[in-house]
Amino acid sequence: MIDAKESRELARAEIGLFLDDPRFAPWREMTLGEPVLVMTVHKEPSYWSVPVLIRGRVAGFVRVLGTGKVAALGTFYQDPAQIDDCPVVVTVIDATEACYRAQELIHHEEGETASDPLFVHDGPPGREAWLIEVIKEGRPYRWIFVTPAFVYERPAGELLDEALE
């Protein structure tokens, strides 16, 4: 698994290949933020999401796999003139917001407690969410996934059926 510094260097090199593309023209004035390690649902390191910062906003990202291969570049804008509408964190919502959104699904009165949020991919790379593990009687009971758009849950340890994707 490469480290954060290596992921930034690889991201910077990859971005250089796309600066002539009109969709990435705003990236000429970018800086790279601190890479975020994306874990598997089994809490294993998987890949890095390197934020592309423009005027204090995350205009896009570079997904760098643990092997060092750049898997994707993406933008958080459709119109390059709308950078000010982009998120301020590459995860779009932060861990605090993820906890807040998950609270109504945690039944403290039934003895449930919640883990700290962990940024994961639920299924293939790119299907990212905050994972909050609900613990009951000392064991993982449910997984709550919080995305910018919605919250969903399933029994802890149950993987997605990728055939249904």
Mention every residue, 6+ apart, whose C-beta is less than 8 A from residue 96: none
Q: Domain extents for the chain?
A: 4-85, 95-164
Q: What percentage of the chain exceeds 70 in pLDDT?
A: 98
Q: Would you state the structure tokens that stand for residue 132, as one six-digit string? A: 């909050």
For the segment 63-77, the average pLDDT, to the nearest whole number, is 97
Categorize the per-residue pLDDT at 49 as very low, low, confident or very high, splitting at 50, 70 and 90: very high
Segment 1-21, tens digit of pLDDT: 999 999 999 999 999 999 999
Using DSSP, state whether 63 is helix, strand or coil: strand
Q: Would you state the structure tokens that stand for residue 125, as one six-digit string? A: 């790379």
**Residue 154: what pLDDT?**
97
Q: Which amino acid does the sequence have at 8?
A: R
Please, what's the b/e burial string for 127-158 (b: 16 or more CB within 10 A of its CB; e: otherwise)?
ebbbbbbbbeeeeebbbbbbbeeebeeeebee
Asked if residues 62 and 70 have their Cβ atoms less than 8 Å apart, the reply is: yes
Whole-prediction pTM: 0.94
Average pLDDT, the chain: 95
Segment 130-165, tens digit of pLDDT: 999 999 999 999 999 999 999 999 999 999 876 444
For the segment 116-129, the average pLDDT, to the nearest whole number, is 97
Calculate Rg over the CA atoms of the chain.
17
What 8-state DSSP symbol labels residue 92?
S
**Residue 144: what pLDDT?**
98
**Residue 164: what pLDDT?**
45
**Residue 98: what pLDDT?**
98
Distance CA 94, CA 8 (A): 21
